[in-house]
Amino acid sequence: SRGRAALTKQLNIMGVRLLSLAALVARAAAFDFDDEAPAAAVPAKPKPAPETSKTVSLLHRIGDAGAFAERSKLWYREAASAGGGLRVRLGPAKLSGAERDAFAALLDSGGHYTLRLPSNFSAPADSPPVFASVSACSLAESRFEEAIELTFSTAGTLTSVSYTVPAASECPPTLPLAATEVSFSTTVTITYPSEGPRPIGRVHDAAFLPHQAAKAQQEAAKASGGKDGDGKPQEPPKSFLQQYWMYIVPVFLALSMGGGEAPKEGGEGGGEGGGESG
């Protein structure tokens, strides 16, 4: 019948397709991938240079008198991001042994715990030191959690150190202290002075002088007959209208010439109408 013949034809076509697919698979399996040309080696990217950090000693003093001793190291380096500045990291610090006993005695007397840093990190021995203190009782009550804020000038000099703790300054009757050692939990931040507002326009040179110096300059100008340093006569100060007349006149003319009388109702105006139709 016709149906059986059509089915046989479809089966033959499918068989041919399967044989072709098997031949392609065999050819791909026999292909030797080792004969391919080796790919060009990709040059390795150069590793960035290691960030070099410098150190300066953070000194401390337990009590209101006595010598300072090194508490830990402060690592600092120039920031690579835009804007520059410094990035700092403070090493771990703890009180143990004789320092722990001295701090326990300080709690009984109610003294202060003081930090010290040089104002110039590049030359710590030759720069004036910067100090910051906090109550020993407040530090112990805060479980030695502290916040240190370093303020630098635009020239990179340390101008002030803010040393704060979360607890209040009043000492409780009794403060427990670890028997062996205590560790500090420190947060360090850096701030720079914000740039103040600048005057708009050109400022006269005398505005930057102190009052006495500006007055002396005016008296010297009067004594020289109203002449400046080049021997030329000084121009008198101009008034507001003399300085900005070129802006005021166009506005005045535009306001005075603008507008006009409103058209009268039923007045002259449009084109002539058509004639009468015959």
Could you please report the per-residue DSSP string of 211-242? HHHHHHHHHHHHHTTSB-TTSPBPPPPP-HHH
- Give the model's pLDDT for residue 87: 86
Assess contact for 134 and 60: CB atoms under 8 A.
no
Task: Name the percent of the chain lying above pLDDT 70.
Answer: 62
| pLDDT level of residue 261 (50, 70, 90 thresholds) | low
Supply the pTM of this predicted model. 0.54
What is the CA angle 63-64-69, rounded to 5?
60
For residues 52 and 252, give the distance between their C-alpha atoms in angstroms, rounded to a whole number.
Answer: 66
- Nearest to residue 66, comparing CAs of 114, 8, 130? 114
Lowest mean pLDDT among 205-209, 214-218, 261-265: 261-265
Question: Mean pLDDT over all residues of the chain?
Answer: 76
> In sequence order, what are the beta bridge partners of 160?
151
pLDDT in tens, 85-131: 788 899 999 999 999 999 999 988 888 999 999 999 989 989 999 99
pLDDT in tens, 244-254: 888 888 887 88
Q: Say which residue the tokens 């044989």 belong to.
A: 19
Average pLDDT of span 128-147? 93
Question: How many C-alpha atoms does 132 have within 13 Å on its Cβ side?
Answer: 18
- Which span out of 15-19, 47-51, 104-108, 217-221 was modeled with the highest average pLDDT? 104-108
